[in-house]
Amino acid sequence: MKLEHLRAFEAVARVGHFTKAAEELFMAQPSLSRQIAGLEADLGQDLFDRGRNGATLTHAGEVLLPIARRMLADAETAQAEMDELAGLSRGRVRLGAPPTLCVSVVAEVLSSFRAAHPGVALEVMEAGSHALAQALSEGRLDLALTVDRGPVGAPVSSESLFTEELVVASARADGPLGTQVHDDAAEAGAAGRLGDGAGEAGAGVAQPGRPGGEPGESGEAVPSGTHALGRTARQVRPATHAAGLGRAALFLGTGAPDARDGNAPVPAAPQTHREPLFSGERLSLAQLAELPLVAFNRSYDLRAATDAAFAAAGLEPSVAVEGAEMDAVLRFVERGIGVAVVPATILMERPGLRATRLVEPALTRTAALSVREGGSLDAAARAMRELVLETVERLTRPGTELAALVARA
């Protein structure tokens, strides 16, 4: 068996079509067909059932596919070991991670790795933990960041990196919805301003300055439409119902009274410092269920975990937008369309967002670094592993922005 024949076989098996596989491999379709025919002749088995709609694997093809992928991976490892002699001036690292880690930790890691080893090619695979485990076992990835207990049923080994809280992400005070308030304070449906702890509308909402973020003294449930994420709540104009909110909602303020509240003085000058990512506010799952939620696509492990938490509590969330991917969810939240439940690490270096701790219950997840069990890492992959560990250590160090929400596992 020749490696080029195995590459042709793997490509056809993956895309299910001879012509598309030939295009991917930058070769003519007849040449690819001859390579597959040669491989079938060597093995004495038909590997594909060919039809008008493409090619499907025979039983023999299904048996060969994982073996072929391992052989190709071993060949690449041998080449990478030779590249190691060049002092990491060449080579390739294939790193996998879920989307939630790609936009946070992986972005930090790749930035540093690229600066240190510009000659090493980088490939990233975004997928769920189970798909990443399969890719590791087949030799299609060198390393993968996985979440929670990681993949099940695949020959991989994992080392825990950090545990982080799932938090409620919301727009900063200067977001679009944060500035749309009723001119008439009476329409806010509150006896006093929310956020100073004095008004009855604040009962049941976590107040800054109270240890543990316990509810207000009265212990009463917060009326529908009066939940707040932070120190100052603002009611959305009725016009925002057309934007998909479905009902009036309260969004996080700056901690200072609204200048358009008739009882509030106009600040002398805007604040020039940046608010911290997390300043101690807390929100229960029941309170979250009353806020407009931007929900991830159902293919996300994060969406499944959030749905399970609501179901276990007997709650039904108020979904404003459903089915978006990671970048879209964060952008929608920045624009004030709603809030989203996200891992804390996602919010670093995102000045348009802030985090509110989720309690009753608190939700967490653990990130791990996974490799193929029994496999060996070449020099480039070993350098990537070390950089992942260094980056996690830096991000979780006491005193950093994430320290309150993320801890080393």
pLDDT at 85: 56
pLDDT at 161: 95
In this structure, are residues 372 and 360 in contact, taking their beta carbons and an 8 Å threshold? no
pLDDT at 403: 83
Coil, helix or strand for 95?
strand
pLDDT at 348: 83
Whole-angstrom Cα distance, residue 261 to residue 263?
Answer: 5
Whole-angstrom Cα distance, residue 60 to residue 66?
Answer: 11
Straight-line distance from the first to the last Cα atom of the chain, in angstroms, rounded to the nearest whole number: 45
pLDDT at 277: 61
152 backbone dihedrals φ, ψ, rounded to 5°: -120, 140
- Spell out the per-residue pLDDT of the chain, length 409, in tens: 889 999 999 999 999 999 999 999 999 999 999 999 999 999 999 999 998 888 999 999 999 999 999 999 988 888 777 766 566 777 889 999 999 999 999 999 999 999 999 989 999 999 988 899 999 988 899 999 998 754 455 688 899 999 999 999 999 864 333 433 333 323 333 333 333 333 333 333 333 333 333 333 333 333 333 333 433 333 333 333 333 333 333 333 333 333 334 444 444 444 444 455 666 689 999 999 999 999 999 988 889 899 999 999 999 999 999 999 999 999 999 999 999 999 999 988 888 898 899 998 999 999 999 999 887 888 889 999 999 999 999 988 888 878 888 998 8
Calculate ∠ Cα 172-311-291, nearest 5°: 25
pLDDT at 311: 96
Closest CA to 141 of 122, 160, 168: 122
* C-alpha of 356 from chain center: 17
Find the length of the chain: 409
pLDDT at 350: 87
